[in-house]
């Protein structure tokens, strides 16, 4: 990884909800911030949809306010340079009435959301952009919407014919954060033995691990060793109390179960430049000068 004093290394992470930055790639973000990279987060929604116990809402006017507070807590621990919200509403899980809310992220035209992402790419000028994989990890409609919008934004941001109040800027690389399927298959087998349903996994019972295994077996092009920052990642995870299915880190909950399986490595698929067969990177900034 190299540095250019005239253009500091920067990463832009484009995700759907508070907690996506920590549960999926918190180790990677913490690792790069401690290497001096400016890591920025664009979050599509404030995670307004879902149930929350009254005690967790004390001092907050809404679920969205609580979720935003948790995100800012985690961002401070991870060392993020900036957090920006696109202003859309959480769409809920597939087939729910929240999908039809007029401001639901998943209901917006792709180009409209992409234009907002372009604004941040041109403003922040990251060399590396990271987002969800094409099925959003576990087919959450907001994750898929952010994937599509970020991919479209990557196509538009370097185009001089796409006019905004800032000049074109094209990042060097685009990655998708993925889930290692070998370990997810193991989780499917182990979950029933631990009293968990792999079709209804997670604190909200909204993750179908069987579907995750069956669809989107995406290649791993980059494997980031986060062993040196796992304690920081765990501290940031603890900020998202409302999503852990219990108090504190809830070491026996589904998030902790997956975290133990996944260990210290976080994996990514490189979308741009298109990866050659057999590519294995240990640094998302590899080749960036």
Strands 222-225 and 265-272: antiparallel
In this model, does residue 167 exceed pLDDT 70? Answer: yes
pTM: 0.89
How confident is the model over 117-155, as pLDDT tens digits? 999 999 999 999 999 999 998 889 999 999 999 999 999
At residue 105, φ and ψ (nearest 5 deg) are -55, -45
For residues 210 and 181, give the distance between their C-alpha atoms in angstroms, rounded to a whole number.
Answer: 10
Residue with tokens 């087919």: 139
| Mean pLDDT over the full length of the chain | 88
DSSP state of 260: H
Question: What residues does each domain of the chain span?
Answer: 10-272
Architecture of domain 10-272: 3-Layer(aba) Sandwich (3.40)
What's residue 180's pLDDT?
Answer: 72
Secondary structure class of 104 (helix, strand, coil): strand
């Amino acid at each position: 990884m190299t540095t250019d004093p005239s253009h500091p290394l920067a990463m832009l992470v484009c995700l759907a909800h508070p907690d996506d930055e920590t549960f999926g790639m918190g180790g990677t973000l913490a690792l790069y911030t401690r290497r001096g990279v400016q890591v920025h987060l664009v979050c599509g929604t404030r995670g307004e949809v879902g149930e929350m116990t009254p005690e967790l809402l004390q001092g907050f006017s809404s679920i969205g306010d609580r979720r935003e507070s948790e995100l800012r807590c985690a961002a401070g621990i991870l060392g993020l340079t900036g957090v920006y919200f696109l202003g859309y509403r959480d769409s809920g899980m597939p087939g729910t009435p929240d999908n039809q809310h007029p401001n639901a992220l998943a209901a917006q035209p792709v180009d409209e959301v992409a234009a907002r992402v372009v604004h941040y790419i041109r403003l922040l000028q990251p060399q590396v952009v990271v987002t969800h994989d094409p099925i959003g990890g576990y087919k959450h409609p907001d994750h898929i919407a952010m994937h599509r919008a970020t991919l479209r934004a990557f196509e538009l941001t370097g185009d001089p014919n796409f006019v905004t109040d800032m000049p074109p800027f094209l990042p060097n690389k685009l990655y998708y954060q993925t889930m290692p399927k070998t370990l997810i298959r193991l989780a499917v087998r182990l979950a029933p033995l631990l009293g968990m349903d792999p079709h209804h996994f997670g604190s909200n019972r909204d993750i179908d691990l069987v579907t995750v295994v069956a669809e989107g077996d995406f290649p791993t092009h980059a494997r980031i060793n986060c062993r040196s920052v796992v304690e920081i990642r765990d501290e940031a995870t603890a900020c998202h109390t409302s999503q852990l299915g219990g108090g504190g880190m809830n070491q026996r909950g589904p998030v902790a179960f997956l975290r133990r399986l996944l260990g210290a490595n976080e994996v990514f698929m490189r979308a741009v430049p298109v990866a050659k067969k057999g590519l294995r990177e240990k640094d998302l900034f590899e080749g960036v000068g």
